[in-house]
Amino acid sequence: MAMRQGEPHPGPRGYQRVTEPQGWDARAKTVDRDAYQHNFQAARSFRVGPYHRPAGWSGRHWGYGDRLPRALWAAPYILADYWLFALEVPPAGYEWVRAGNDALLVDTSTGEVLQAEYGVFS
């Protein structure tokens, strides 16, 4: 039986970035740490492409209270469009970071993980 071939697809034309929801970057000035401090399983998983950790680093499952080395929360790993992945607005001084299939809420002064969402990416 011959394998069916799909027709060529030229790709998107005139792509425009999805508009951010209102208040998407209204970060709280203070942090109620007790409202976080959890390791959650994500309710939904997103396919966004492969994850490439920094050279020389091996995979690890991170969680609340761990401290990420700076290389793992550098600019390429920050989820600036966190709202696209059903993640809440990070408070001031924190960023969502992709670590493998997980999203971690990281303190940008210390690297401490305040919250983990496991399985956000597949």
CATH number of the domain enclosing 73:
3.10.450.160
Task: Note the pTM of the prediction, 2 decimals.
Answer: 0.75
Domain that holds residue 102: 33-49+61-118
Q: Higher confidence at residue 33 or residue 72?
A: 72
Is residue 17 one of the residues assigned to a domain?
Answer: no
Is residue 20 one of the residues assigned to a domain?
Answer: no
Is residue 6 one of the residues assigned to a domain?
Answer: no
Q: How many domains does the chain have?
A: 1
CA dihedral defined by 112, 103, 18, 71, rounded to 10 degrees? 60
Tens of pLDDT, residue by residue over 92-104, are: 899 999 999 999 9
Q: Higher confidence at residue 49 or residue 77?
A: 77
Q: Is the pLDDT of residue 59 over 90?
A: no
| Token duo for residue 115 | 């919250």
Round to whole Å and give the CA distance between 64 and 119.
15
What is the predicted pLDDT for the residue at 101? Answer: 94
Is residue 7 one of the residues assigned to a domain?
Answer: no
3-state helix, strand, coil in the chain (%, to 5): 10, 20, 65
